[in-house]
């Protein structure tokens, strides 16, 4: 844990915007005058990876923001993270008093225009940092007859999903359309914890996607003890702990389909993007970025992250902004094909 955080910090160090003394005083006066509170919106129900990560940051980040405001976690589930994202884009004050870790799948959702109810433009969000990133895993519960990706091509496997536009729907739909699997998405679960429970109860056989680090935080025994079986991982390189789980980029596909795999792999690198609303003054955005960088170097935070089994693999706000813009600005011909690949067929969905 400590080694990963320190190495990432060295890479990221010096890339955040400098905060002058005048800016620091203005930021301190602002946050001290706001009742010392920042709302930290959580896009899921309590108990899952987003919830645990947000609450970890909430316990520590405020002390590194000028004025030392308290960060108050507020759960706002719905639509695979769309409800929370729309709140930040359209409703929340544009002053740096609201933060959220956005849904990983929303960058590709915006690029492809998949969800009409998604009203946010992620290019206008002020990105603070990518808190962590790790490969996305599609898993099945150990009681499922499906044990490998090849098995999933030969039999229907039910997958819990939160709804249209969520990564939990996009990934299995993509695998169906590009790789030839037969996943059936079962809609209606508010978030990851409910899907996990549905697997345990036998309502569904698997979960469409979730980062490796989230499993190791929220359900640390599940992968090592083979309670769930990862069928495929999506990212740029394999997770070191999962050398035998196929990487999407390594799978054999037609050459014309290779850009589709590359798009999905880049999208997986978005991880857990932390941002605040559009329109926030530059000095407050800079202060929030500095606060995050200072926090992840702090021994108390590092120890708490280790106790919570949260793996911090940070990326600067500027780097995250560039990555998200590249995804959204993907060439049109590729976006058209990706959009088709991410849309589940009628027979692949049960609401």
- Spell out the domains of the chain, with CATH numbers in brackets: 2-134+271-330 (3.40.190.150), 136-267+333-350 (3.40.190.10)
Main-chain phi, psi angles of 183, to 5 degrees? -75, 140
Q: Under a CB-based contact definition with an 8 Å cutoff, are residues 181 and 152 in contact?
A: yes
80 Rama sector, left if φ>0, alpha if ψ -120 to 50, beta otherwise: left
pLDDT tens across 281-333, in order?
Answer: 999 999 999 999 999 999 999 999 999 888 898 999 999 999 999 899 999 99
Main-chain phi, psi angles of 198, to 5 degrees? -65, -35
Q: pLDDT at residue 28 above 60?
A: yes
Residues 6+ apart with CB under 8 A from 288: 65, 96, 99, 126, 128, 276
Which pLDDT does position 8 carry in this prediction?
Answer: 39
Q: Under a CB-based contact definition with an 8 Å cutoff, are residues 47 and 29 in contact?
A: no
Which pLDDT does position 17 carry in this prediction?
Answer: 45
Q: pLDDT at residue 23 above 90?
A: no
Q: pLDDT at residue 53 above 50?
A: yes
Work out the end-to-end distance of the chain between its first and last CA atoms, rounded to an integer number of angstroms. Answer: 40
Question: Measured between alpha carbons, how far is 277 from 133 in angstroms, rounded to an integer?
Answer: 22
Q: pLDDT at residue 143 above 70?
A: yes
User: Range with the lowest mean pLDDT among 162-166, 180-184, 227-231?
Assistant: 162-166
Percent residues over pLDDT 70 in the chain:
93
Which pLDDT does position 285 carry in this prediction?
Answer: 97
- Extract the tokens encoding 39: 């709302």
Which pLDDT does position 309 carry in this prediction?
Answer: 81
Q: Under a CB-based contact definition with an 8 Å cutoff, are residues 77 and 43 in contact?
A: yes
Mean pLDDT of the chain: 89
């Amino acid at each position: 844990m400590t080694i990963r955080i320190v190495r990432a910090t060295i890479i990221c160090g010096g890339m955040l915007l400098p905060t002058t003394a005048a800016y620091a005083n203005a930021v301190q006066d602002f946050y001290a005058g706001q009742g010392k509170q920042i709302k930290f919106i959580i896009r899921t129900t309590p108990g899952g990876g987003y919830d645990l990560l947000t609450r970890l940051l909430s316990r520590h980040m405020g002390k590194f923001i000028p004025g030392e405001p308290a960060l108050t976690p507020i759960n706002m589930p719905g639509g695979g993270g769309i409800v929370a994202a729309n709140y930040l884009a359209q409703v929340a004050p544009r002053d740096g008093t609201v933060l959220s870790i956005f849904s990983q799948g929303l960058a590709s959702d915006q690029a492809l225009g998949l969800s009409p109810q998604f009203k946010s433009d992620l290019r206008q969000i002020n990105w603070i940092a990518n808190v962590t990133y790790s490969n996305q895993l599609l898993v099945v519960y150990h009681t499922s007859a499906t044990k490998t990706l090849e098995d999933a091509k030969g039999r229907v496997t039910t997958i819990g999903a939160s709804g249209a536009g969520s990564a939990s729907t996009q990934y299995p739909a993509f695998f169906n359309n590009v790789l030839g699997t037969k996943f059936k998405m079962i809609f209606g679960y508010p978030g990851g914890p409910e899907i996990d429970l549905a697997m345990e109860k036998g309502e569904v056989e698997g979960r469409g996607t979730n980062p490796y680090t989230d499993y190791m935080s929220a359900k640390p025994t599940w992968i090592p003890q083979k309670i769930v079986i990862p069928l495929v991982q999506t990212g740029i390189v394999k997770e070191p702990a999962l050398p035998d789980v196929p990487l999407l980029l390594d799978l054999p596909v037609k050459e014309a389909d290779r850009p589709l795999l590359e798009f999905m792999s880049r999208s997986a690198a978005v991880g857990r993007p932390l941002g605040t609303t559009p329109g926030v003054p530059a000095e407050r955005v800079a202060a929030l970025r500095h606060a995050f960088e200072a926090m992840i170097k702090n021994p108390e935070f590092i120890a708490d992250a280790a106790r919570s089994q949260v793996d911090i693999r940070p990326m600067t706000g500027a780097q995250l902004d560039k990555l998200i813009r590249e995804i959204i600005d993907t060439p049109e011909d590729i976006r058209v094909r990706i959009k088709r690949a991410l849309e589940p067929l009628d027979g692949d969905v049960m609401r």
